[in-house]
């Protein structure tokens, strides 16, 4: 979180009808398929609405998944302005050690602009094939997967293209993405600590893995809304925003049943075109929406597989709330919205206190996976339940490592070691304990069910992590774990 708050204002003063924000919140919270985590709305450069659904909070970073890509593209734009890369150079020219291996003419014709716009000529995601080809060097693996069409002619959402762009930036700068961006982007914007996952080579992934607060998303969006200028200082090269946020190759990715899709409007340099404005987005509902016509930015984090529905709700409720000029004040809707945003909270998982007649049986009970192995988390081998003076301790053992969690009271029990979590739940009957573990720097929640009758447990994700990190590392990278 930044130590320099964004300028703030009432919704009415910036021409925002607070009743539209209320309606948007109502719709988000009424949809069982959407778990909102945070929302920030900026209009005319002022923060007019912000809130976090407890146990999520403003200062915590959140895994942005593919919204990371927009930060990677920004680093590439800065490197190009410094003459370190050129978008019309062949990718292979930055990796001369692969020259002898990469012989396919189309692979050799892939330019930096093609990986920046996901138009490498492949017709589908190449991540698995690239990894199978070379598990140690994903750039080489990617270049050894021959494109199906000429580069620049087709779009395919393709993680190794962004990874390659990130690898080029890190190679020519001699720095990680975060180190390169810190003095050029993050510090000038007032963005606090961020952390980016690395691969086994030590490279920051580029295509995913960035953990940053919602505030960082909002500031990036505002910078792009203002054509790369922040507080009167140009941070991004002139013309970069227009180039990065225009359609480079048409796409038809993500359409379902003929319904209008915000994934069919074209793709820029790691930004999506939307039915309104443009955006960066990441799996499970991480959004940076930039709306030039409304002079607005919306930053949002969530846990949902219904990302199109989130955008539909934005277009339905928030878009009409942006009026042409200030509204008459004072408006009770503004005060009510501020109060509502200050007390947002996710409901804790239901459950009763431990049954008194079975307390001794539950004390120190050990559970093994139902069926012999935990299907969604094979490395999770044991769950232990231990009484505490003020509740219970739930211990998850994965790969020989323990994750101790406290269960107590009616709300969320928050812990920070070894990874930020919040736990809630209780007994659904005398023989069954159900606890839900929220990993507070991610969109992910693990539901653990223990059965005393057969001393077994099950564990299932509400949203399945797209990487293979151990539970004890299910948060922003913090060195070795």
Which residues have CB under 8 Å from 139's CB, separation 6+? Answer: 95, 98, 160, 163, 164, 167
- Residues of the chain below pLDDT 70: 1-3, 253-259, 479-481
Q: Tokens 């600590």 sit at which residue?
A: 193
Whole-angstrom Cα distance, residue 57 to residue 343? 11
The reply to whether 12-81+168-342 and 356-473 are identical in fold is: no
Domain ranges of the chain: 12-81+168-342, 356-473
pLDDT of residue 207: 98
Alpha helices in 297-405 (DSSP H): 307-313, 332-342, 359-362
pTM here is: 0.95
pLDDT of residue 358: 93
pLDDT of residue 254: 45
The CATH class given to the 12-81+168-342 domain equals alpha beta
Sign of CA dihedral 170, 175, 178, 180: negative
Sign of CA dihedral 93, 128, 288, 119: positive
pLDDT of residue 189: 98
Q: What is the pLDDT of residues 53-85, one digit of tens each?
A: 999 999 999 999 999 999 999 999 999 999 999
Q: What is the 3-state secondary structure (H, E, C) of 378-437?
A: CCEEEEEEEEECCEEEEEEEECCEEEEEEECCCCCEEECCCCCEEEEEEEEECCEEEEEE
pLDDT of residue 266: 94
pLDDT of residue 227: 98
Structure tokens given for 316: 């339905």
For domain 356-473, give the fold. Lipocalin (2.40.128)
pLDDT of residue 329: 77
Q: What is the pLDDT of residues 183-240, one digit of tens each?
A: 999 999 999 999 999 999 999 999 999 999 999 999 999 999 999 999 999 999 999 9
pLDDT of residue 408: 85
pLDDT of residue 480: 38
């Amino acid at each position: 979180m930044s130590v320099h708050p964004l300028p703030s204002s009432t919704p009415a003063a910036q021409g925002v009808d607070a009743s539209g924000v209320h309606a948007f919140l109502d719709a988000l919270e009424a949809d069982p398929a959407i778990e909102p985590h945070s929302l920030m709305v900026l209009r005319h450069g002022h923060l007019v609405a912000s809130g976090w659904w407890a146990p999520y909070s403003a200062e915590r970073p959140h895994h942005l998944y593919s919204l990371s890509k927009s930060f990677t593209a920004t680093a590439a734009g800065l490197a190009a302005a410094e003459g370190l890369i050129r978008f019309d150079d062949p990718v292979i020219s930055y990796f001369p050690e692969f020259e002898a291996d990469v012989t396919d003419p189309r692979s050799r014709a892939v330019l930096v602009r093609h990986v920046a716009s996901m138009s490498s000529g492949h017709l589908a995601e190449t991540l698995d094939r690239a990894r199978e080809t070379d598990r140690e060097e994903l750039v080489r693996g990617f270049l050894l997967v021959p494109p199906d069409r000429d580069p620049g002619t087709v779009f395919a959402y393709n993680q190794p293209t962004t990874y390659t762009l990130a690898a080029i930036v890190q190679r020519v700068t001699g720095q990680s993405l975060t180190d390169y961006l810190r003095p050029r982007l993050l510090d000038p914007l007032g963005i606090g600590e961020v952390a980016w996952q690395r691969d086994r080579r030590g490279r920051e992934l580029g295509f995913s893995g960035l953990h940053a607060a919602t505030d960082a998303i909002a500031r990036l969006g505002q910078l792009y809304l203002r054509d790369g200028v922040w507080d009167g200082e140009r941070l991004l090269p002139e013309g970069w925003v227009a180039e990065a946020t225009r359609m480079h190759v048409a796409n038809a990715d993500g359409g379902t049943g003929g319904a209008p899709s915000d994934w069919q409007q074209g793709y820029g340099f790691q930004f999506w075109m939307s039915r309104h404005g443009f955006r960066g987005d990441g799996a499970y509902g991480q959004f940076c929406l930039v709306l030039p016509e409304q002079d607005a930015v919306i930053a949002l984090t969530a846990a949902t597989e219904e990302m199109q529905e989130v955008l539909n709700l934005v277009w339905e409720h928030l878009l009409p709330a942006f009026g042409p000029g200030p509204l008459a004040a004072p408006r009770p809707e503004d005060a009510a919205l501020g109060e509502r945003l200050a007390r947002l909270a996710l409901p804790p998982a239901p459950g009763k206190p431990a049954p008194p007649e079975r307390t001794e049986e539950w004390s120190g009970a050990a559970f093994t996976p139902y069926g012999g192995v935990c299907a969604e988390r094979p490395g999770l081998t044991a769950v232990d339940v231990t009484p505490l003076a003020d509740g219970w301790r739930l211990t998850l053992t994965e790969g020989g490592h323990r994750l101790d969690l406290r269960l107590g009271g009616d709300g969320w029990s928050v812990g920070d070691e070894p990874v930020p979590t919040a736990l809630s739940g209780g007994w659904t009957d005398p023989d069954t304990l159900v606890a839900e573990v929220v990993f507070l720097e991610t969109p992910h929640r693990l539901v653990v069910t223990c059965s005393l009758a057969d001393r077994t447990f099950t564990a299932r994700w509400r949203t399945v992590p797209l990487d293979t990190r151990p539970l004890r590392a299910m948060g922003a990278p913090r060195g070795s774990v």
